[in-house]
Amino acid sequence: MTTVAFLGTGIMGRPMAANLARAGLDVRAWNRTRAKAEPLAAEGVAVAGSAAEAVEGADLLVTMLADGPTVAEVFSGLALSPGTAWLQTSTVGIDWIGRLSEAAAAAGVPFVDCPVMGTKVPAEQAQLQVLAAGPEELRDRATPVFDAIGSRTRWLGAEPGIATRLKIVMNAWILTLTNGTGESLALARALGVDPELFFDVMAGTGFDVPYARMKGPMMLAGDYPASFPASLAAKDARLVVEAAGDQIDVAGAAAALAHLEAAVERGHGDDDMAAVYEGIVKK
């Protein structure tokens, strides 16, 4: 049986680890806050007391941690068994995926750059999309993991980095959609227009966006149960802006970043990214 060490059991990681166990893999999970990993014991996952304990003798290491520095810090303290391959599913940005790839090479650890598309519900339903880049010889080994957590895997090449770059592109779109929805609904209220008309007019048109229908009601209700926290969405927006550099003007992502940072400052960091609305409305 393939043994998987799964590091990071937050909103995304916990259901991902559970789905691996349901698929028949031997899963050991670790999280810095152990309480977030403990519920996995009921799913047949062994909850480890340390990252080192989780990876001992593992065939595969999967990381789903908050950001690049966190992934690097955790990896630096590990002594992996020969042959352990690393599947790096966190969204870490262009600079950090390069650093992590180099750290893996220096440690002699085969490495796959494989961020995932989706939030809490797709993770729970094993409907994530996996964007993968790594050596051809790792595909067969990685496939049982990817099939267990997702509905589709897109192999993009042999060199790590391209998967992360595509994830940055997709995040730019998602952030712009979320921020645009918030701006339109806030504008409707400011102009004395019933915000529900925003959705009514969209119905049946080419610009009807299901994502707006998912996030918009949360904004109108001021209730943001987290599928993806605003603090992490701000991190992702920052990665988009950094990736663009001076080459292009990603004004939409920059606006989303400013509004998300304002929302976080107002105490909505743990709320869903739809709380960007709280950074749009002037207080």
pLDDT digits (tens, 9 = 90+) for 227-242: 999 999 999 999 999 9
SS3 160: coil
145 and 259 together in one domain:
no
Domain coverage including residue 73: 3-160
Residue 171 and residue 135 share a domain: no
Strands (E) across 150-282 are located at 150-155
* Cα separation, 119 vs 66, whole angstroms: 14
Domain count, the chain: 2
Q: What local confidence, expressed as pLDDT, does residue 283 receive?
A: 77
Would you state the pLDDT for residue 138?
98
For 112-163, write each residue's pLDDT tens digit.
999 999 999 999 999 999 999 999 999 999 999 999 999 999 999 999 999 9
- Averaged over 77-93, what is the pLDDT? 97
Do 129 and 206 lie in one domain? The reply is no
- For residue 207, name the pLDDT band (cuts at 50, 70, 90): very high
152 and 94 fall within a common domain: yes
Q: What percent of the chain has pLDDT over 90?
A: 99
Q: Tell me the C-alpha distance between 176 and 242, whole Å.
A: 16
Q: Given 160, 189, 218, which residue is the final one in a domain?
A: 160
One domain for residues 136 and 184: no
Q: Which of 135, 160, 185 is the last residue of a domain?
A: 160
pLDDT averaged over the chain?
A: 98
pLDDT at residue 1, rounded to an integer: 87
Confidence at residue 151, expressed as pLDDT on a 0 to 100 scale: 98
Q: Which residues contact 233 (CB under 8 A, 6 or more apart)?
A: 175, 178, 256, 260, 273, 276
Query: What is the pTM for the complete model shown?
Result: 0.97
Supply the pLDDT for residue 106.
97
**Full 3-state SS string of 177-205:** HHHHHHHHHHHHHHCCCCCHHHHHHHCCC
**Nearest partner of 134 among 148, 107, 154, 106, judged by Cα:** 154
Structure tokens at 56: 């001992």
Q: Are residues 106 and 143 in the same domain?
A: yes
